[in-house]
Amino acid sequence: MQKVISGDGTPIAYERTGNGPALVLVAGAFGHRQFPALLEFAEAQSPYFTVYNYDRRGRGDSGDTPPYAVEREIEDLQAVIDATGGNACVWGQNSGAVLALRAAAAGVPMRKLALHEPPLPAERPEFTARLTELIAADKRADAVKYFLTTGMGVPAFAVRMMRMMPPVWQHLTGIAHTLPYDAKVLGAAEWASAKLPILVMDGEKSDPGLRKAAADLTAVLPDARRRTLEGQDHNVSMSVMAPVVREFFLD
């Protein structure tokens, strides 16, 4: 594990593996650098890239300097990209995809950007406010349930099943304090200012709202292509996505 210091002094932890051009991974909600899916994706790309897999602020071994602002998370990503030498490809998933896109639109330099199912449109203020209230009251389980059901459309019975799997539920509640951060990341931005080559991916079997978001985003970006992953839904197989991303970055 290594660390960089972000603009506000927050330490940001990352792992560096592999050889080749730099590739930075940006996790979505509940994700961190030790998350099994991220480790699988990093391993798949390590023979081709030097992979930088980092903990977003408030997660894993990274710090969390209050007050939170999306601009600070953009600075965190900038600090990780600077650690690569400043010329990295970036892959982001879900809210991490939106964070990476916001960073690109804000002028953070990237070679190329690959996004998996960014959950656009914009942040819902009432949703963010309710999440913030639940976390402030230390109602982590309620916050997780609210985020999953109201924010992601996960059926209530599926949440009940998660609660019956202690390792899964402990992970979700343990990282729940970052859920308001993810909600704030989803705020609107001027996407057309992100002029680098961008790949927008969605799953053939994903929620229609996510598929529409992928299509709408591709239409407004100056240099974007869309790729629908056959047979995949929101819980995408990393073994399916990895070669698609690799082909795009190495093209």
Is the pLDDT at 213 greater than 80? The verdict is: yes
3-state secondary structure of 24: strand
What pLDDT was estimated at residue 123? 66
Give the global pTM.
0.93
pLDDT beyond 80 at 122? no
User: Domain map of the chain by residue range?
Assistant: 2-122+189-250, 125-180
Is residue 62 over pLDDT 70?
yes
Distance CA 128, CA 179 (A): 9
User: What is the rounded CA–CA span in Å between residue 150 and residue 132?
Assistant: 14
Query: Which pLDDT belongs to residue 168?
Result: 84
Residue 231 above 90 pLDDT? yes
pLDDT in tens, 125-142: 888 999 999 999 999 999
Query: End-to-end alpha-carbon separation of the chain, Å?
Result: 30
CA atoms lying within 13 Å on the CB side of residue 227: 16
Average pLDDT, whole number, for the chain? 93
CATH superfamily of 2-122+189-250: Alpha/Beta hydrolase fold, catalytic domain (3.40.50.1820)
Q: How large is the average pLDDT for residues 33-42?
A: 92
Would you state the pLDDT for residue 159?
84
Confidence of residue 153 (pLDDT cuts 50, 70, 90): confident
